[in-house]
Structure 1
Amino acid sequence: MPTTTYEARRGELLAYFDRTAAEAWARLTSDAPVSGIRATVRAGRERMRACLLSWLPADLRGTRVLDAGCGTGALAIDLARRGAEVVAVDLSPTLVSLARERAGRAPGPGRIAWLVGDMLDPALGCFEHVVAMDSLIHYRAQDVAAAVAGLAARTGRSLLFTFAPRTLPLAAMHAVGTLFPKRDRAPAIAPVAERRLRRLLAAAPGLAGWRIGRTQRIASGFYTSQALELVRR
């Protein structure tokens, strides 16, 4: 069950991504020209998506995969090209509509169900794999661990997610970011110390049957995110 702090933060993110920044986000995730700062973010996200995809089987036919926080749909489309039955869910109706439009007809042997909602909703069902790329980076460490445990309860093989690592360069970038006009700011990213996150994951009752696998940090200008893999024991 989502915590109260998770739910409060979720409301802020919905307001931002569905209204304030929908157009900017659509541009960032396209091939349209962007500013130098946003270009580093775009490059970092592309590298992170490639990293997460490299941790999944090349052939996903017959498997059900959750794209938890699908945004404008690039990852879901890649998963469908590998044959997965993808459930792509996001809080923002605007971004889901854009993702559906960009995908057009089925992008491969797989299928995509585009849904508006919360990635933690049990009604989404069960999956072999879950991927949450940059959809938990705005939450506190406790809420990240609780969300991961909730997702793991409906996952059979692997769970891949990213978090914002607590680093001095990232802290400096956040300080610089506060100088931008409020209309250009995203909800604050919540840096998480990797050691603390690992402790929280190890202590979560819902993750007793899981182990931490690979990890990879991607740093590209104003983009810094770290991927973590959980696999069934």
Structure 2
Amino acid sequence: MGSEEGVFKWTDANTADLIVWRVSNNRLFTGRRNAAIKAFELYVKEKQLEGKVTPAWVRKKWENLKQKYKDLKSLNMAGGDTAIATWKWYAIMDGALSSEIPLNHFIKPDHVTSFTQDAPPIKQRKEEDWLIALREMERRQEERERQAAEREDERDRRAAAREEERDRRAAEREERRERQALEREERREREMFAREERWEKEMLAREERQEREYREREERREREAAAREERLFKLLETFLANK
């Protein structure tokens, strides 16, 4: 809580009250974004704890209780039940999270002392039990770290695969663009060659047409000149014959 610890002391009664309130108001924790923090804001207001604790701190307190319960329950299943007897909140957390016990009848916040008196007697913890518990905690921590490392490796592999896929697609796009550019260049060259070939054919056809027309005009002029000369000779012959 930071500076809040100097002005407010969180008691067992507060812890019991938090457990009962959290289970009784489970409907507020919908899993949606910010739903949990808003619910704990309501808790702080209802319990008149504003200025003493923050909703975020209360949320962390609950998460710590829940995590410790889960750790001890796992340890109990592994045969280390001694640790359970040393934690006074195990029974009520077990009832809260398993929903097998009506908590409002099981415990009241102002009866924490009676609850702790009704709890199973705490056995003398032996050194062997400590070592077993510590080894189990270390094993779970190592397992969590291993799983986290595996998830990180998996994320890295997926990121590398995505990057490789992006590079491959980029290379394909670049190759496709180069191929299309080459095809466009070849098409332009073919079209230009075809235009030049058509132009040359048209020029040749025009020259041939002009040459043919020129010959036709020359032949026509020659025929017309020959016809005029022939008429002239006939007129001359007629003139000489009449003399």
Greater RCO, CA 8 A, separation 6+: 1
TM-score, with length taken from structure 2 = 0.26
Q: Which has the larger radius of gyration?
A: 2
TM-score normalised by length of structure 1: 0.27
Which is helix-richer, 1 or 2? 2
